[in-house]
Amino acid sequence: MKAGIHPEYRDVVFQDISSDFSFKTRSTIKTKDTIKWEDGNEYPLVKVEVSSQSHPFYTGQHKIVDSGGRVDRFKQRYGKSKK
């Protein structure tokens, strides 16, 4: 492996801003923010808007969309009328 061409792989904390959920993992992402973690060390911080704690698929709060009604409304507005 060539030295000096690979990004730094380090511990990073990802924080879901919509649910105040955080987890520490390893990543090469660059960030200017830092956070003090549970172990007392300071780590780079990446703020995300959606994680498994706030995504509707994982929380079970997803909505069922009435696609048939949407299609009918579209056809009424823009479709050719049958005479």
Task: Give the pLDDT of residue 3.
Answer: 85
Mean pLDDT calculated for residue range 3-28:
90
| Residue 56, C-beta contacts closer than 8 angstroms, at least 6 positions apart | 62, 63
b/e sequence 2-24, b meaning 16+ C-beta within 10 Å: eeeeeeeeeebbbbbeeeeebee
Query: Edge-to-edge strand order for the sheet containing 10-16?
Result: 21-27, 10-16, 42-48, 34-36
Give the model confidence (pLDDT) of 28-83 as tens digits. Answer: 999 999 999 999 999 999 998 877 777 666 566 655 555 567 777 777 888 765 55
